Amino acid sequence: MTAPLLVFDLDGTLVDTADDLIATLNVILADEGIRAMTRAEAGSLLGAGVRAMIARGFSLVDRTVEPAHLDRLFDRFIPLYTQSIAVRSRPFPGVTAALDRFEAAGWRFAVCTNKLERLSHLLLGELGLESRFAAICGGDTFAVQKPDAGHLLGTITRAGGMPDRAVMVGDSATDVKAAKNAEVPVVAVTFGYTDAPVASYGPDAVIDRFDELWDAVAGLGRG
């Protein structure tokens, strides 16, 4: 029988990356004459990839950015962020213990994130977590990205899993929508990056801490 699979979002779910992302964003925005974004604004900025984050930074001060200029800002952001990807980013409390418990019970793991694939590998490698995942699929891995079902389903396939034996774990509307589109149950975490209560997006279960993940997943009947 195919092993059950937990598919995690990355930023705001597995790893608290807000400080490093916003620090890099603020370098970009400063050159555009835009005020610095704060950690408190992470929920309004993060969760949909770098281009969306930059555009949201503009929108928070009632400015727009043309697509061609956004591409240029994206191209500047990536090398800056690569150099400081794990300065302050750390796994959320309880991540390692949760992975250990599920692994001992025969589960496998994958990452499905809108972060670029190479940056996802780099970050998880810097944090000593990369080897825990059977697949790490980013926003540029496939022709589509979350909330398109193809991103999550493609990740499940790459990890050697099956949709009817998989559970998504995420922190945002994007994650919940992707799981619903793929007809995969989803557990949402409350400590991630969202500008509305994550329960309002209709996940199958909600947890406040990683030590609650075991019981939440057990309640979904996918073990």
Mean pLDDT value across residues 134-155: 97
Residue 53 in tokens: 């984050």
Q: How many CB atoms lie within 10 A of CB 214?
A: 16
Confidence of residue 194 (pLDDT cuts 50, 70, 90): confident
pTM equals 0.93
**Residues forming a β-bridge with 137:** 112
At residue 45, the pLDDT reads 82
Strand segments, DSSP code E, in the chain are 5-8, 15-16, 90-91, 108-112, 135-137, 166-170, 186-189, 205-207
Quick: pLDDT tens for 41-90: 887 888 777 888 899 999 989 998 999 999 999 999 999 999 999 999 99
Share of the chain above pLDDT 70, in %: 100
Quick: pLDDT tens for 11-43: 999 999 999 999 999 999 999 999 998 888 887
Q: From 219, 210, 223, select the one nearest 169 (Cα to Cα).
A: 210
Mean pLDDT value across residues 127-142: 97
Residue 166 in tokens: 């998989």
Mean pLDDT value across residues 199-207: 97
Catalytic residue ranges: 9
Q: Which residues of 68-106 are buried (b: 16+ CB within 10 A; e: fewer)?
A: eebeebbeebeeebeeebeeebebbeebeebbeebeeee
Ranking 62-66, 81-85, 169-173, 188-192 by mean pLDDT, the lowest is 62-66
At residue 47, the pLDDT reads 74
Confidence of residue 91 (pLDDT cuts 50, 70, 90): very high
Alpha-carbon distance of 205 to 126, in angstroms, equals: 30
Could you tell me the maximum CA-CA distance found in the chain, to the nearest angstrom?
A: 57
pLDDT at residue 98 greater than cutoff 70: yes
At residue 223, the pLDDT reads 63
**Residues forming a β-bridge with 194:** none
- Domains defined for the chain, CATH in brackets: 5-16+89-218 (3.40.50.1000), 18-83 (1.10.150)
Confidence of residue 97 (pLDDT cuts 50, 70, 90): very high
At residue 218, the pLDDT reads 95
